[in-house]
Amino acid sequence: MEDLVRHAIESASALGVDYAEARLHIDSGSAFTLNNGVPDPVQLARERGIAVRILVDGAMGFATTNDLSKASLGSTVEIAYRSAKASRRLIAKPIRLSEQKAEEANWETKGRKPLPGVTTEEKFRVLEEIEKNLQPDIVKVAVPSRTLILGDDITERYFANTDGTRIHGKASRVNLLYVLTVYDPGKGTIQRIGQQGQTGGWEQLEQWDPPRLVSDEAKTLGKMLTEGKQAPRKELDLVVGSEVTGIVCHESCGHPQEADRILGREAAQAGESYLKPEMIGYRVGTEAVTVVDDPTIPNSNGFYLYDEEGVKAERRILIKEGVINAFLQNRETGAELGVSSNGSARAVAYDREPMIRMANTFMLPGSYTHEELVEDVKEGVFVKTFMEWNIDDRRYNQRYVGLEAYMIEKGEVTTPVRNPILEITTPRLYGSVDAAGKEVEFEAATCGKGEPSQGAPVWHGGPSIRLRKVRLGG
C-alpha cells in the first residue's frame, strides 16, 4: 500500500505541481442492533480507496477512487491536477500551505483485547444483557422503545506528501448508541439518545459496564418523567454537569475557533464565526474558563497522533483564563494567518478532504467539589444532562434544554425539574462562569461538518461549572 501512495506522489510530481499528497485508507466496521429485543440485520462495511490532493499555481484539486489499479491511480492524479488547473482563473488569493517539518512515523492504538478477536456471539451477548436490564421490573418504568446499536471500526491509513512526510497510522474504535423512550400513562414520554465511544480494544466497552449504564439512564428518565416539576423561567444561578459543559465547549468554543470558519471557507454550509482573525486576545469569559482541544489523549474518541496533512498532533489551548488564545489551524489557514498548523486537519474517510476539526474539546477543571459549587446557591437549577440543543451558524446564540435537572434551594439539590431551557449568547455564557469543579468527564459524540458531510468521532467534556445570574426561559 505504501507503494501506491508513493506512486501517486511521484506521478503528481512529474506533472510539475507545487504540492501533492496522497492518503490511502483501508477501513472495516460492523454494527449489531437490537430493536426492542429483536435483532435488526447484521451489518458489515468494508472499503478502501485513495485520495490525491494537488496544489497548482495556488489552486487546489482533490480526487479519489476506490479502484487501486495503477491505471486508475494515474487517472485520479490527472483528474486532481486538471481540477486544480481548471480552478486557477477564479482564485482571488492563491492558496498556500504553512511550512511544516517533514515527519516519518508509524502509530497504532493497541487494545488489550483487539476488536478482530471479539466474536459475534459476544457482541450479541452484550446487547442482550443491556436489553435484560431494561425490563420494567428492574428499571421500575416502561421503556416501550429500546434501540441498542453496538458498532466497531478499524481504520488503517497511509499518508505521503511531496514535502517528504510519510505516516502510517492504525486505529480501532468501539461505540455504543442507545435510544430509549420511557413512557408513563399519566405523563407521556421522555427520550434519550446516548452514546459511548473510545479508541482501543474491547476492554474499553467492558469498562463502560453497558448493562448498568443504560439501565441507570432508563431509571433516571423514569424519575424525570414521573417526578419532574416545571422548571422555573427566570434569572437565577445555574450549575451544569460535565455533559453540558462539554457540549458548550464544543459548540461555542471549538467551532467558532476553527480558522476555516473564521476565514469564511465554510460560509455556505456550516457557517462562519463571531470571531475575526484579529480577535486573539479578546476576552470572552471569566478567568475560570480555560478550554482546550487535545487529540493526544490515549483511548479518547477523537484520538490521533498525526493529522491528515501529516502534521504532528498537539494540545491546543483555545480559551485561556477567559481570553481567546488560539484557533484550530490546518496548513492552509495557518499560511493565511501567518502561523503554523496545529495539526487540526481530519478526514473521516479516504474520499473526504482533510478539513479543520475538533478532536477532544473540554474545559480544564477548577478546585471546587460538587457540594462547594452548590452550597452558596440560594435559588438555582442543577442541569446534569441535556437533550435538544442548537446554535446559530456564527456560534453566538445557543440553546440547551436540560434532561436530568433539579432545583437548588438554599445550597442543596432538591426536586427534579423538567425541560429547563437556557438560551444565551456565547460571551454571556462564558462571562457568567464563576467556578469550575475538580472532576473532568467526557462524552462521545459525532461532530458534523463539511461538504460532503463528515461525521467525526470526538469527545467533549469538562467539570461541572457554575453560572451566575442567567435567565432560564424558552
Partner 1 sequence: MNPEQVVEQAVKFGLKLGADEVAASMMRERRKMLRFSNNSIIVMQSWDHTVPAVYLTSKRKRAAARVGDPDFDALMDVMKTLKVAMDISKPGAVESTLPKGPFKYEAVPHTYDAKIPEMTDELTGLAEEAINAALSEGAKRSSGTLVTNEWEKFVKTSTGSEGKDRGTSIELSTRAFFDDDASGMGVSCATRLADFDPTHAAKEAAKIACQAKNPVFGDEGKFTVIFGPSIMAEFLSRVADFASAYFVDLGLSFLKEKVGQKVASEELTLVDEARMPAGINSCSFDDEGYPTRNTRIIDHGVLKTYLHSSYSVAEYGGELTGNSFFAGGTWGLTPIPLNVVVEPGDIRFEELLEEVKNGLYLTNNWYTRFQNYQTGDFSSICRDGAFRIENGRIGQPLKGLRISDNMPRILQSITSLSKERQWIKWWEVETPTYLPHIAVEGVGITRATK
Give the residue, chosen from 5, 80, 139, 176, that forms a contact with partner 1 under the rule CB under 8 A. Answer: 80
Residue 308 CA to residue 171 CA, distance in Å, equals: 14
Residues 338-377 that bind partner 1 (CB under 8 A): 351, 353
Cell of 245: 459543559
Give the residue, chosen from 106, 189, 367, 414, that forms a contact with partner 1 under the rule CB under 8 A. Answer: 189
Residue 196 CA to residue 265 CA, distance in Å, equals: 31
For residue 157, the tally of other CB atoms under 10 A from its CB is: 22
Cell of 168: 502510517
Residue 40 CA to residue 127 CA, distance in Å, equals: 12
What DSSP letter does each residue of 62-95 carry, written as one string?
EEEES--SHHHHHHHHHHHHHHHHHHGGG-SS--
Residue 197 CA to residue 213 CA, distance in Å, equals: 13
Cell of 432: 457568567
Smaller CB separation from partner 1, 181 or 296: 181
- 214: contact with partner 1 by CB under 8 A: no
- Using the contact rule CB under 8 A, the part of the chain among 5-13, 86-94, 101-109, 360-368 near partner 1 is 86-94
Residue type at 219 in one-letter notation: K
**Site track 40-59 with partner 1 (rule: CB under 8 A), x = hit:** xxxxxxxxxx---------x
- 15: contact with partner 1 by CB under 8 A: no
**Least spacing, CB of residue 187 vs partner 1, in Å:** 11
**Least spacing, CB of residue 334 vs partner 1, in Å:** 15
Smaller CB separation from partner 1, 226 or 299: 226
Nearest CA among 429, 401, 397, 398 for reference residue 231 = 401
The answer to whether 280 and 317 have CB atoms below 8 angstroms apart is no
Residues 112-151 that bind partner 1 (CB under 8 A): 120-121, 124, 144-147
Cell of 15: 506533472
Residues 391-450 that bind partner 1 (CB under 8 A): 391-394, 396-399, 401, 419, 421, 423-425, 428
**Least spacing, CB of residue 84 vs partner 1, in Å:** 7
- 79: contact with partner 1 by CB under 8 A: yes
**Least spacing, CB of residue 463 vs partner 1, in Å:** 23
Residues 87-106 that bind partner 1 (CB under 8 A): 87, 89-93, 95
The alpha carbon of 98 is separated from its chain's Cα centroid by a whole number of angstroms, namely 25
> What is the total count of residues that contact partner 1 (CB under 8 A)?
93
Residues 272-331 that bind partner 1 (CB under 8 A): 272
Nearest CA among 121, 126, 6, 8 for reference residue 63 = 8
Give the residue, chosen from 30, 300, 342, 454, that forms a contact with partner 1 under the rule CB under 8 A. Answer: 30
Nearest CA among 33, 11, 29, 28 for reference residue 20 = 11
**Least spacing, CB of residue 73 vs partner 1, in Å:** 11
Smaller CB separation from partner 1, 33 or 299: 33
